[in-house]
Amino acid sequence: MNKKAVFDHVDWRNEARLYTEIGRRIREARRRKGFTQEDLSDRVSLSRPSISFVENGQQNISLHAIYEICFVLDVSIHKILPNNMKE
């Protein structure tokens, strides 16, 4: 039996909306880990101000930096990158 994909109403092709959501998810993961922005910046290749900008959707982030953050925060990249599929 094939499972059909059901798409959510959010259109992630909107770049600002996408980066805002990624930033929100990074902030949540960082807080769950008990890290400050400074703690995270000490462990990845981003400055504390850059982490703040990313978390607020004001700065784009590279895929490599997302992988770094996921590794440090011990979270799956699938939890950070949104998709359009309802689970």
Q: What is the pLDDT of residues 51-80, one digit of tens each?
A: 999 999 999 999 999 999 999 999 999 999
Number of structural domains, the chain? 1
Whether 31 maps to a domain, the answer reads: yes
State yes or no: pLDDT of 6 exceeds 70. Answer: no
Q: Model's pTM, two decimal places?
A: 0.85
CATH number at residue 34: 1.10.260.40
Arithmetic mean of pLDDT, 4-11 = 58
**11/44: higher pLDDT:** 44
Q: What is the C-alpha to C-alpha distance for residues 54 and 52, in angstroms, rounded to an integer? A: 5
Q: Which residues contact 72 (CB under 8 A, 6 or more apart)?
A: 40, 43, 44
Domain that includes residue 59, residue range: 15-79
**Residue pLDDT, tens place only, 19-59:** 999 999 999 999 999 999 999 999 999 999 999 999 999 99
In a domain, 59, yes or no: yes
Residue 86 lies in a domain: no
